[in-house]
Every structure is written in C-alpha cells, then in structure tokens.
Structure 1
Amino acid sequence: MTPYSLDSVAWDSVAWQESWDRQQEAYLPDREERFAALLDTVAATADGPAPAVLDLAGGTGSISLRVLRRFPYATTTLLDVDPVLMTIARQSLDQRSTVVAADLRSPDWAAGLPRQDYDAVLTATALHWIPRERLGPLYAEIRQVLRPGGVFVNVDTMPDDGLPDLTTKFGDVFRARREARYAAGAVLSWQAWWDHVAADPVLGPLLEQRRQVFADRHDTEWTPPVSWHLDALRTAGFAETGLVWRGARDAAVAGVR
C-alpha cells in the first residue's frame, strides 16, 4: 500500500490541513481571531447544544473542523466548488459533516443542501471572488436557508469607510511581512502550495478538473467597504446587522434573520 492510497489519505489530510493553514496565515496572521469571532457568534445564537452550520465556500474545511471541535454535537455542511480543496475536506471531516459541490454564482446553489434551516451560515475570506452584481442577491439567498433567529457571518477584506489611506498602508505593511517570510522559507506562498499539490499523486490529478471549474471565472477581487455589506444585508431582509469583529483591513459582518 502506498502512502497515498485512498485508504490512507485520511491520515495524510492532517498534513495537508496544516500546510493549508500555514499558507493562509501568511496572508492572515489574525486568522484564528476571526475564526474565534465566528464561533462565538454561533455560541451566542445557537438554539441548543447541537447547532447546524453551513460552511459556505468552505475549502479544506477550516471552519467546519473548528466548529466541530468547539461544539461536540454540532453538524456542518461544507459547500464549495474546488475539487482539490474539497478532497482534503472530505478526508478530514467525520460523519457529522456533509460536503456539497455547488457554485455560488448560480441562484440554485442551495438546491443540493441537506436542509434549509441552518442555525448559522459562516464564510471566511471567500466571497470577494463573487461578482459585484451577484453578491447582493446571494445575501438574500443565504437568508432563506437560515431558521428564524439564525445568523450569517461573512469575514473578509472590508475596509473601514473612514480610513481609506490607512487601510492602504496596512496592506503595504502586511505585504512586506509576507514577502519576508516567503524569502526566509518560513511558509509556502500561494503558488508554492499549489506546486506541492501538483506533485501529489492524489491531489495532482485533480488539477485539470479544477482548471475546468474555474476556466470561465475572472480573477478579479471586489472588496467594498463595510458600509456596502451592511446595506446589502439590510436590503436582503436581515433583521439585525452589524460587525462582530474588526481587524486592520478586514471585518466580520453579521446578519440575523
């Protein structure tokens, strides 16, 4: 049996999760702080000890894994479209989780979900890839899969409206720090991480499928200020909206159904 046989990928997925976390932390040194804010919000709004959480654009399962550790009776549904990241997620998560392939750019993305009454919908550092004209309608669709009183939290790059110049300077500082870590070999860059994927006997063959999935997408990030997100959440019909976390350039906006 080779180290990369399907029978042993569950063990190898631990290393891939660690590798993904370290690579992401180069971009987001306060990554665990934002995850803690997500989990605290679930704790504050959960209707009982077994919250049902939708991990939206969940990638390798970073949020789901932390939810399941924090809430032993929780269940999660991870939704994503990336075949490489979802393979890592499937081998990392246990029977309390379901992994669903769906494209958030399509209005029918929620059709394959196992339920439509989640206690919480959580997403982190993902929706900046959703086109401008699509994000507002997506917020309204997310509201529809929450139970009354359920909460949606999106944490992403969301500049403070009153600090545009300082936000830019923060970006310069963080970029210089990240490049220094790359140069010292302290952490893998985004491209270097994917180079490791290409060399892996299990994940590497999925890259062509990944290229097809993303072939018609434009790599254009859209990072509107916090005010835009709060307005969009109110327009989508959320009863309460506001911030549950604030970093230098990033924030977590929440909407309660």
Structure 2
Amino acid sequence: MAVDYAAWQASWDAQQTVFMPDREERFAAMLDAVEAVTAGRPPRVLDLAGGTGSISLRLLVRRPDARTVVLDADRSLLTLARGSLDERAEVVAANLGTPRWREQLPHEGFDAVLTATALHWIAPDRLRALYGEIRAVLRDGGVFINADHMKDDGLPTLNAALDRLEKQRQEAAYAGGAETWPGWWERFGAEPAVADLVRERNELFGGDHAESHLPPVSWHLNALQAAGFAETGLIWRGHLDAAFAALR
C-alpha cells in the first residue's frame, strides 16, 4: 500500500492555497525570522501542529543544516510528514489540548517554535496556557511565530469588506474546479494506507474541527505578554491574516 507522498503534499498545498493565496509569503516571513535569531547557527525548530510538515519541508530546503520536530495530534497527516521528510526531522504525535504534549518532545531548548493556521482550533483558556508552555520549550532569545487568521482591531469596516472579497475569490476558485477541504479529506480517507488513521482523526475531531476561536491581534499580544514573553509584535500581515513573533 505505497503512498505517493509528493502527490499528496502537492494536492494539500493546492487546496490550502485556495484559502490562503499568500501562504508562501507567510512561510517566508517566518523563516526569515528563524534565520535572524539563529545568526548562521544550525536552527533547531519545533513545527507545532505541523500536520503534513509544510513548514519543515520549506525550512529544510532553505537551511539544509536545520533540525526540526513536527508535532501534531492528527496521525493521518503525520503519515505524510514522515513519508516526505528525511532524517533531519522527527515526527511526534501529541495533543496540544493537555500540557503533557511536552513529554513527547525529544528535547527542548528550541531556537524557534513555528505554527500556521492551526491554533485557532484551541479554546481561549487553553490557548493562553499553551502560550506559556511554548515559551518554556524555547531557549533564551528563541522566537515563537504563529501565522493565523487575526484581524486588525482598528479596521472593522474594511475587515468585513475583505472577508466578502476573499469568499468571492474562493467561490470562484471552487467553481473553476479547485479542490475543497471536504473533497480533499474524502479522497485522502479513501487511501488504503491511511484510511484507519483518517477515521481515527474524524473521531478525535468529531468529524471535523470544533468551532474556531478567531480573536484579533490584540488578544494574542496580550496573552503572550501575560505568558512572559519579552517582546511581541507582528512580522507579517496579509488582509485578514497575520503572523506575530514573540521572543523569549
């Protein structure tokens, strides 16, 4: 039951890009920050809620000397990460819903913890606690970067207009034949090698994710400061999405 990892990675990227046309831009901004804080040293990175390993794949192309740990609760997506990455990456199954996820890490003292479009599925109180746990696994001077759906508090009228525009673009893409999120999962779940793991995923998430938590940028910055990060701020923005960085 061989899996064509490259083909599945390409189809994952394609369906994600419908949601986020500037997906590669946010990844590039994140990796720029990693380069900045490591200053030429081989980076040690935690790809948090990393799924298929999208961030790690790009990190290792840019920095062949890097080492990365991909952590996620979804073992079906981790199958793609494990099959696509090499010995420079470790793949770990752990649930961020409990502080015990740290017990699954092969080490701590990371230069960077990177995550994208994932933590909005975590409830607010748990996310506040998670930010503190993330700080604890960073080395002094390390950086945490989260790229996700984060509106700017001061632009409610423009945000609403941008939201309508993005939905129109997505609908046009789907009408033109782009693969949808449910469609991708239906195809992936029919892959014999991962069918059982997709069923496990569906049980874990109740068939899909719970209602998402999409606070504005200010909520995140306040939570990071309360968690003890020394510096916080945005390093990238694209319409209704943003990436913040927090330095330990």
1:199 aligns with 2:186: no
Q: Give the Å deviation of 1:60.
A: 0.3
1:36 aligns with 2:33: no
Q: What is residue 215 of structure 1 aligned with on the other side? A: 206
TM-score by length of 1: 0.93
* Aligned partner letter, 2:134: I
User: Which runs of structure 2 are paired with 1:79-158 in the superposition (5 Å)?
Assistant: 79-158=71-150
* Aligned partner letter, 1:249: L
Summarize deviations over 1:106-150 as a string: whole Å, max 9, x none.
Answer: 011111101110000000000000001111111010000000000
Q: Give the Å deviation of 1:226.
A: 0.5
Q: Give the Å deviation of 1:48.
A: 3.8
Instruction: Structure 1 unaligned segments of length 5 or more: list them.
Output: none
Summarize deviations over 1:185-215 as a string: whole Å, max 9, x none.
Answer: 1x20001101111222222232221122223
Q: What is residue 252 of structure 1 aligned with on the other side? A: 243
Counting aligned pairs with the same residue, the percent is: 56
Aligned residues: CA RMSD: 1.3
1:239 aligns with 2:230: yes
* Aligned partner letter, 1:18: A
1:230 aligns with 2:207: no
Tell which deviates more after alignment, 47-56 or 245-254.
47-56
* Aligned partner letter, 2:219: W
Q: Paired residue for 1:57, among 49, 54, 57?
A: 49
Over 3 Å off, 4+ runs: 215-218
1:182 aligns with 2:174: yes
Q: Take 1:178 and 1:82, find their aligned partners in 2: how far apart are those partners?
A: 26
Tell which deviates more after alignment, 44-53 or 63-72.
44-53
Q: Take 1:77 and 1:218, find their aligned partners in 2: how far apart are those partners?
A: 23
Would you say the 8 A contact 1:47–1:119 is kept in 2?
A: no
Q: Take 2:42 and 2:198, find their aligned partners in 1: how far apart are those partners?
A: 36
* Aligned partner letter, 1:110: R
Instruction: Structure 2 unaligned segments of length 5 or more: list them.
Output: none
Q: Give the Å deviation of 1:248.
A: 0.5
Would you say the 8 A contact 1:45–1:151 is kept in 2?
A: yes
TM-score by length of 2: 0.97
Q: Give the Å deviation of 1:216.
A: 9.7
